[in-house]
Amino acid sequence: MKHAIITAGTKGLGKKVTEAFLQKGYSVTATFRSDREAAEALKNEFQHLSGRLLLLQGDVTKKSDLDAIIDKTMQAYGRIDCLINNAGPYIFERKKLADYSDDEWYSMIEGNLSSVFHLFRKTVPIMREQKFGRLITYGFQDAASAPGWLHRSAFSASKAGLASLTKSIAYEEAENGITANMICPGNIMGDMKEATIDSARSQHDPNTPIGRSGTGEDIARIITFLCDDQSDFITGAIIDANGGADVLRRKSGN
């Protein structure tokens, strides 16, 4: 049985990814930082699959927590096939770079960029021995082109760096059967993070050409596809999933 680690996998987009992997027959380690209530709700929802779901508390800005996640997963399941880096801090207050505190800056960099380094460095020997591995990172729309983002400079810097890191891993580890790809969700807000595609189709969204909001199910479907055994030809890709938003702007260069 293949195993997936999904950081922040108990609510929001991460919950839908956890659900998708469980439905496909994987065992899953889902982490959470502080919301134990959400973790317990997920545990109860999948009580019939309790042997395939390991819930671990951890903060992705702390290397010791990341090391423990890998160690406890290996103790429980003996393998790691997919590493889904769903967790990552975000500062909602809109502020210029000069107004960030040291703690805020390092939280963005450690949680969104360094965490992937620490997790992957600990995981890559396992994947190399298996001759199989799937790494998924998250970016933001157009992250591959490293655009500026007003009032989100620390977050965007960490994710643009992560896009480059993802491509580097893809190249370095291709010979070991390991792929690395980044998914860049569009503006998926509130309840839509845990919503299904069918539910989104019942609500018109004028902000996307396809006429509906994105959902957690959209993201989960892309990730499980990229993690499939037969998807090894897709690696180093930065995939925007935004319902067509900004396609014309990017194509025209305006």
The per-residue pLDDT for 105 is 94
How many residues belong to the chain?
254
What CA–CA distance (Å, rounded) separates 196 from 157?
A: 31
In terms of C-beta density within 10 A (0-12 exposed, 13-18 middle, 19 or more buried), how is residue 250 classed?
Answer: middle
Q: Which long-range contacts does 250-253 make (Cβ < 8 Å, 24+ apart)?
A: 250/142
The per-residue pLDDT for 250 is 52
Which residues lie across from 185 on neighbouring strands? 241
With H, G, I as helix, E, B as strand and everything else as coil, classify residue 62: coil
Low-confidence ranges of the chain (pLDDT < 70): 247-254
What CA–CA distance (Å, rounded) separates 14 from 103?
A: 25
The per-residue pLDDT for 251 is 47
Give 242's DSSP letter.
S
The per-residue pLDDT for 248 is 57
Q: Which residue has the tokens 């505190």?
A: 101
Q: Which domain holds residue 27?
A: 3-252
Q: Of 136, 114, 128, 122, which Cα lies nearest the Cα of 172? A: 128
Q: Of 239, 246, 223, 249, which Cα lies nearest the Cα of 7? A: 223
The per-residue pLDDT for 150 is 82
Q: Of 214, 212, 211, 217, which Cα lies nearest the Cα of 242? A: 214
pTM for the structure as a whole:
0.94
Residue-by-residue DSSP string for 12-58: HHHHHHHHHHHHTT-EEEEEESS-HHHHHHHHHHTGGGGGGEEEEE-
State the total domains in the chain.
Answer: 1
CATH code of the domain covering residue 109:
3.40.50.720
With H, G, I as helix, E, B as strand and everything else as coil, classify residue 84: strand
pLDDT digits (tens, 9 = 90+) for 154-208: 999 999 999 999 999 999 999 999 999 999 998 899 999 999 999 999 998 888 8
